[in-house]
Amino acid sequence: MAQKPSIPKGTRDFGPMEMARRNYIFDTIRSVFQLYGYSQIETPAMENLSTLMGKYGEEGDKLLFKILNSGDYLRSADRGLIDAGDYVRLTSQISEKGLRYDLTVPFARFVVQHRNELQMPFKRFQIQPVWRADRPQKGRYREFYQCDADVVGSDSLINEIELLQLIDDVFTRFGIRITIKLNNRKVLSGIAELIGAPEKIIDITVAIDKIDKIGIENVNAELRERGISDEAIATLQPILSISGTTNRRLEQLSEVLAKSEIGTLGVRELREVIDGVEALGLNAELELDVSLARGLNYYTGTIIEVKAKDVAIGSITGGGRYDNLTGVFGMPGLSGVGISFGADRIYDVLNTLDLYPDDTALGTKVMFTNFGTAEAAAAMKMLKQMRQAGIGAEIYPDASKMKKQMARADALSIPYVAIVGESEMSEGKLTLKNMTTGEQHLLTVTEAIETVKSDK
Amino acid sequence: MAQKPSIPKGTRDFGPMEMARRNYIFDTIRSVFQLYGYSQIETPAMENLSTLMGKYGEEGDKLLFKILNSGDYLRSADRGLIDAGDYVRLTSQISEKGLRYDLTVPFARFVVQHRNELQMPFKRFQIQPVWRADRPQKGRYREFYQCDADVVGSDSLINEIELLQLIDDVFTRFGIRITIKLNNRKVLSGIAELIGAPEKIIDITVAIDKIDKIGIENVNAELRERGISDEAIATLQPILSISGTTNRRLEQLSEVLAKSEIGTLGVRELREVIDGVEALGLNAELELDVSLARGLNYYTGTIIEVKAKDVAIGSITGGGRYDNLTGVFGMPGLSGVGISFGADRIYDVLNTLDLYPDDTALGTKVMFTNFGTAEAAAAMKMLKQMRQAGIGAEIYPDASKMKKQMARADALSIPYVAIVGESEMSEGKLTLKNMTTGEQHLLTVTEAIETVKSDK
């Protein structure tokens, strides 16, 4: 016997039940994206390496899956590089395509390539897998889906307000209670300006982030360790002690940053977004979090991060505003704002909280029995009517023992079995058995359809 | 300015309108698959090359996209192979994964790997892209979707009957008139047996296929050219002249193949499938076609091919029964039958015949205008109500000139614009403009929702 086959590490098969749950997640997100006026696009799994390389830092370049050129890829390879074992430079000679690493760079490439066909502002969403040659570990895969929505070509903060509403809408549908953390890159720039250490901004945010866990004193000690001057630490104190309601926090922040032009602008943007969202009402808790510093090399305005309240897991959605999505492809100055839902983590949260709707299961509602040629032929006529009524249904294809047939319905959690034996056939009816209650009734097809349809 | 970015040849971007149309195709096929009791699975884009190699013939091995191993792939490479320029053998040392070439081999791998979790018969469908390093040309891509449904673990011809109904159901929904061609591999084996030239079966079917175009005399000449003996050609004549209704054809075939056991079995299977389907009623035309020989190395029973009646294009769906799906992975004797919808060709047919439903377009039904902060805030409250009512809607994010805002709605074919200016705001209403008729009315949000929803 051949070796039992396997799949590459870090990848997954999805069976029927997992697919039903994943489809529930993707369909929910997709329908909300559409409700908010986002249009779907898809880009190829393979991009030219010239599009991908250099966009994710040196580490990212290494994590790209590269595709070997077809045919005799050695022919055009530089012997010197091979002899020197310089595989990094050799790669560009034997590989010109790679698998997409995220949806953002392909989106930027798409916008530039199709600039003349697009209506600005362009609101797009994209739900596709991405690939990363990361070391696989629990919850980290080499193939996983991203669900992104972005608006480009508009500076208006209405876009931020709408994206926050959209996030709220998605998680309300899922029944997941969330906190949306908000920050603004300009506020962080203001803080750095204020303490005269712009290059230390990441150290500062990392330290601030620990206040709740280790207290102000320890944060100050850590800041000192990270090389922040005592003077800067003193200047930082009012920011570290910001507390209270979101409004109260905004006021304190506004005072502290009053001398920084960019910081003040950041506070004003935060206030406009928060006021805008609160005027419309939100189920989620909104939290102004000055330590939130995701995508610091990338985001230029609003920064968004979503946490589940009832499950200890990392960020389940994130996003922000950027100023220059497409500059690297020769189209500068295009601002946008976007969010990305973490489908795998949302899947874990829904599983943990057992929040799937009852009907997130296999579509088959009725299984017809098969007692032989004549009975099966009669059953298939009724089966056809069921399907015409929109009911997912199947017939056991072989005339196996009744017990075996019922075992299938049971194993697949098919809620009804339609028994068509000799007596049913002679009456042109079927016996509908409810697999949950065990009840069964002799019914016409029309009656059976009504019964199945009225069962929720 | 950087070079305008591009995508690898043979791949495609799909913009909003193409996505809407493709989703219509996939959603239709998916919903019918589910109606027939098929469950969805997904497998990773990357499979181990040991899973893929040798499954598609020598040519297929070449057409696999291979992924370069991560890190220093040269370290474990054999210098001798490099020096000899033996890139074929070197590939197995520097690449251990490839992109999926079809959905059948990954499905077989899936069945073997998960054999203990699966309920047999296992009815699965799968809609995912596949990749082939084929020379790109019109209608042939390097990345394209396959939509497959298979039942494994059942020999019953009920499965064939159901798949034919399923095909009929899908194309009825699309509004595409089709001919379903049917044959049976056992009939072809019977013919080969009869004329004593089993190795010539492909030559024979290729020649038979031309009867309508070139006539019997020319077909006979071609058979002679292809090395078929005069005696065999004489034996073949009754088969070449088979004609009339499907029933009449079956009768003639049955007579001609009476002496061949396997041929007779093939005719019996064909009859059972055709009778079964006709008893249930079919919109498609069913055609018994003895020259149909697709997948001859693979199929062992029923062979199915679907042609569009109103567009000259190749087969748009195909399939058949196989006896040994998983033998190559060490699990012999698993019979199954499956079909594959050609999404790209169906897309072309729907485009050619302009058969998309009217609402296969962008989801946005209403665009709100934006005349400044106060008006936008009022508009966003109404917008929220619209979305809560399930209407896809957006607001123009910037307070641009009216003309520019209207141009967007026009360009995106958004059917309604909701104008919220000072006077509407003071009345708590909106002016709903129908972009097709130009009509506009001052309405409450509730009235506007009713108007939009009642418009079909």
Q: State how far Cα A50 lies from the chain centre.
A: 26
| Chain B residue nearest residue A51, CA to CA | B5
List the single residue in B3, B117, B131 with the smallest CB-CB distance to A15: B117
Contacts of A99 in chain B (CB under 8 A): 45, 67
Residues 6+ apart with CB under 8 A from B292: B181, B182, B183, B205, B303, B305
Q: Could you report the predicted ipTM of this complex, rounded to two decimals? A: 0.93
Contacts of A68 in chain B (CB under 8 A): 65-68, 91, 94-95
Considering chain B, what is the average pLDDT of its residues? 93
- % of chain B surpassing 70 pLDDT: 98
Residue from B14, B24, B25, B42 to probe the interface with A (highest A Cβ count within 10 Å): B42
Lowest mean pLDDT among A40-49, A78-87, B280-289: A78-87
Contacts of B151 in chain A (CB under 8 A): 397
pLDDT digit string, tens, across residues B17-31: 999 999 999 999 999
Looking at residues B433-445, what average pLDDT do you find? 97
pLDDT at A125 over 70: yes
Q: Do B87 and A74 touch (CB under 8 A)?
A: yes
pLDDT digit string, tens, across residues A194-245: 888 788 888 888 888 888 788 889 989 998 998 888 988 898 888 888 888 9
- Angle formed at CA A133 by CA A131 and CA A136, multiple of 5 degrees: 100
| Chain B residue nearest residue A90, CA to CA | B74
pLDDT at A361 over 80: no
Distances (CA, A) of A309 to A176, A274, B228: 8, 20, 77
* Confidence band for A1, pLDDT divided at 50, 70 and 90: very low
Look-up: residue for tokens 């800067």? A232
Query: Measuring CA to CA, which residue among B214, B157, B185 is closest to residue B290?
Result: B185
List the single residue in A97, A119, A142 with the smallest CB-CB distance to B411: A119
pLDDT at B232 over 90: no
Write the burial class of residue B110 (CB in 10 Å: 0-12 exposed, 13-18 middle, 19+ buried): buried
Q: How far apart are CA A2 and CA A255, in angstroms?
A: 72
List the single residue in B75, B154, B281 with the smallest CB-CB distance to A398: B154
Distance from CA of B281 to the nearest CA of A (A): 9
Residues 6+ apart with CB under 8 A from A28: A170, A173, A174
Distance from CA of A141 to the nearest CA of B (A): 11
pLDDT at B147 over 50: yes
Contacts of A7 in chain B (CB under 8 A): 43-44, 46-48, 51, 109, 113
Distance from CA of B210 to the nearest CA of A (A): 36
pLDDT digit string, tens, across residues A431-450: 999 999 999 999 999 999 99
Contacts of B23 in chain A (CB under 8 A): 40
* Confidence band for A302, pLDDT divided at 50, 70 and 90: very high
Contacts of B136 in chain A (CB under 8 A): none
pLDDT at A456 over 80: no
pLDDT at A2 over 60: no
Contacts of B35 in chain A (CB under 8 A): 363, 387, 390-393
Q: Do B113 and A43 touch (CB under 8 A)?
A: no
Q: Which residue has the higher pLDDT, A141 or B362?
A: A141
* Confidence band for B277, pLDDT divided at 50, 70 and 90: very high
**What integer pLDDT is reported at residue A360 of this predicted model?**
66
**What integer pLDDT is reported at residue B319 of this predicted model?**
96
Lowest mean pLDDT among A372-376, B77-81, B121-125: B77-81
| Chain B residue nearest residue A159, CA to CA | B397
Phi, psi of B449 (to 5 degrees): -60, -45
pLDDT at A352 over 60: yes
pLDDT digit string, tens, across residues A261-289: 999 999 999 999 999 999 999 999 999 99
Find out whether A127 and A99 touch, Cβ atoms under 8 Å: no
* Confidence band for B1, pLDDT divided at 50, 70 and 90: very low
Distances (CA, A) of B284 to B166, B180, B314: 11, 7, 17
Q: Helix, strand or coil for residue A441?
A: strand
pLDDT digit string, tens, across residues B73-117: 998 889 899 888 899 999 999 999 999 999 999 999 999 999 999
Q: Do B94 and A3 touch (CB under 8 A)?
A: no
**What integer pLDDT is reported at residue B317 of this predicted model?**
97
pLDDT digit string, tens, across residues A175-195: 999 999 999 999 999 998 988
**Cβ atoms within 10 Å, residue A42:** 20
Looking at residues A393-401, what average pLDDT do you find? 96
Considering chain A, what is the average pLDDT of its residues? 93
Q: State how far Cα B417 lies from the chain centre.
A: 37
Distance from CA of B173 to the nearest CA of A (A): 12
* Confidence band for A3, pLDDT divided at 50, 70 and 90: low
- Residue by residue, DSSP assigns B96-136 as EEEE-S-SHHHHHHHHHHTTTTPPSSEEEEEEEEEE--PPP
pLDDT at A368 over 60: yes
- % of chain A surpassing 70 pLDDT: 98
Looking at residues B31-48, what average pLDDT do you find? 97
List the single residue in B48, B68, B276 with the smallest CB-CB distance to A91: B68
**What integer pLDDT is reported at residue B456 of this predicted model?**
64
pLDDT at B247 over 70: yes
